[in-house]
Amino acid sequence: VAALRFSEARESVLREVSAGRSAPSKDLVELCASSGRILAEDIAADRDYPPLARSVRDGFAVRAADFPGQVRVIGEVRAGDRFSGSLRSGEAVEIMTGAPVPDGADAIIMVEHIKRDGDFITTDRPVKLNEFINPQGSESERGQVVMRSGERLDYAKIAMLATVGRTGVLVYSKPRAAILATGDEIVEIGEQPLDHQVRNSNSASLSVQVARAGGMAELLPVARDNYEATRKLIERGLEADLLLLSGGVSAGKYDIVEKVLAELGAEFFFDRVLIQPGQPLVFGRAQGKFFFGLPGNPASTMITFELFARAAIELMSGSAETQLPLSYARLTREFHHRPGLTRFLPARRSSDGLEITPSGWQGSGDVGAMARANAYIVAEEDRELWAKGELMRVLDK
């Protein structure tokens, strides 16, 4: 079909999946089991937050207009309590962080800013109106939507659900992704391979990547490099919501995945992307299901999943958006590559996150280099050289 640049291929995946995905069903799950799931309902505040004006400091509730000056302490209020009376000019109520501001008070003075003498406090500073007061409803008002369907639940969103009193929450069901490794040379992990065989590491990395993206992995048996076996297993794979194939998409004589898919009436959106690793990547749809033909070299399979299939699974999970975890770090040494391909290469990011060192590797079959890396440098297709100390784009692992 067509060879696309990295950005074009990524846009193609986002566009096709956003347009072609069907609405997932919904599951009701217990609050703390909802981590990483996609919210399937809008969440409204059940009351004002905060429900009362609240002090954000330990100190004294006062009237701002009394200061600079001296006032008399008439009582105290702590978090979990309310002050019963009302505060008048010339008076202060000792207050703790989180406690409701007494009626009549319009500012808080920090305890560090006063001098206390028996029942009296003094400060020679002016006090600003509403200082250190979190007004009622300032975080959210009762009925206001605080989270929307399509957001991925993380610990802070789960804290918000707990705050508004949700012990359970509606989330979207996980899409099922069938994983189909291909190749005559592939043996099961528990087997002793002969010298010309390799263990099936791609099905292992892919199942973990699928789960991390929010999908449910379904492992199929390895397809041998002949039409009948490959076709039968591809047909089984297309019963899932998404089919992830590894191997069999290069230009070799026994790379038959594309031919079998074409026979099954597949539509191909692209079958080559100007990236390394992973150039022969295939993306299409057959029998109403999206599929990716991921190149079989382990680094190619892992990287192309992260760059493309992960986005597809996130969108199919009902997520409103999907982003690549990209950032910048300073190169600890010079880096150059041949322009024309966007490269994603194993690297080590320093513990403070600020520096990046490209790793050596033996190419896209080097599982060890992938295992040692904690990030990837991203070398854009239109640039040749990055000097030591320059900022370079980094993809998180």
Q: Does 198 interact with ligand AMP (rule: CB under 6 A)?
A: yes
Taking the least distance from each CB to Mg ion, the nearer of 284 and 296 is 296
> Helix, strand, or coil here: 134?
strand
Smallest gap, in angstroms, from Cβ of residue 225 to ligand AMP?
8
Please check whether residue 237 is in contact with residue 245, taking contact to mean a CB–CB distance below 8 angstroms: yes
Taking the least distance from each CB to Mg ion, the nearer of 247 and 318 is 247
Question: Site for ligand AMP (CB under 6 A): which residue of 298, 318, 346, 358?
Answer: 298
Q: Which residues pair with 194 in a beta bridge?
A: none
Taking the least distance from each CB to ligand AMP, the nearer of 295 and 318 is 295
Q: What is the DSSP string of 52-119?
A: S-EESSSEEEE-GGG-SEEEEEEEEE-TT----SB--TTEEEEE-TTPBPPBT--EEEEGGG-EEETT
Q: Does 280 interact with Mg ion (rule: CB under 5 A)?
A: no
Please give the Cα distance from 83 to 74 (Å, whole number): 10
Six-digit token string for 286? 């057959």
Taking the least distance from each CB to ligand AMP, the nearer of 173 and 250 is 250
Contacts of 190 (CB under 8 A, 6+ apart): none
Which among ligand AMP, Mg ion, none contacts residue 284 (Cβ within 5 to 8 A by kind)? Answer: none
> Helix, strand, or coil here: 4?
strand
Taking the least distance from each CB to Mg ion, the nearer of 367 and 395 is 367
| CA quadruple 238, 244, 245, 250: dihedral sign | positive
Smallest gap, in angstroms, from Cβ of residue 257 to Mg ion?
9
Q: Which of residues 81-140 bind Mg ion (CB under 5 A)?
A: none
Question: Site for ligand AMP (CB under 6 A): which residue of 237, 248, 277, 284?
Answer: 248
Please check whether residue 295 is in contact with residue 271, taking contact to mean a CB–CB distance below 8 angstroms: no
Cβ neighbour number for residue 89 with a 10 Å cutoff: 10
Q: Does 183 interact with Mg ion (rule: CB under 5 A)?
A: yes
CA neighbor of 127 nearest in space, from 71, 60, 68: 68
Smallest gap, in angstroms, from Cβ of residue 310 to Mg ion?
23
Taking the least distance from each CB to ligand AMP, the nearer of 163 and 279 is 279
Smallest gap, in angstroms, from Cβ of residue 237 to ligand AMP?
14
Cβ neighbour number for residue 2 with a 10 Å cutoff: 12
> Helix, strand, or coil here: 163?
helix
Q: Which of residues 164-183 bind ligand AMP (CB under 6 A)?
A: 181, 183
- What is the four-CA torsion angle of 21, 308, 239, 221, rounded to 10 degrees? -170
Q: Which of residues 233-252 bind Mg ion (CB under 5 A)?
A: 247-248
Taking the least distance from each CB to Mg ion, the nearer of 41 and 185 is 185
Q: Does 277 interact with ligand AMP (rule: CB under 6 A)?
A: no
Tell me the window of 128-136, 226-234, 249-257, 281-289 that interacts with ligand AMP (CB under 6 A): 249-257
Q: Strand 3-4 vs strand 272-273: parallel, antiparallel, or unpaired? A: parallel
Question: Site for ligand AMP (CB under 6 A): which residue of 55, 140, 200, 304?
Answer: 200
Q: Total residues at the site for Mg ion (CB under 5 A)? A: 3
CA neighbor of 83 nearest in space, from 92, 73, 93, 91: 93
Q: Does 230 interact with ligand AMP (rule: CB under 6 A)?
A: no
Please give the Cα distance from 199 to 367 (Å, whole number): 12
Tell me the window of 33-41, 55-63, 200-208, 382-390 that interacts with ligand AMP (CB under 6 A): 200-208
Residues that bind ligand AMP (CB under 6 A): 181, 183, 185-186, 198, 200-203, 246-248, 250, 252, 255, 295-298
Residues that bind Mg ion (CB under 5 A): 183, 247-248
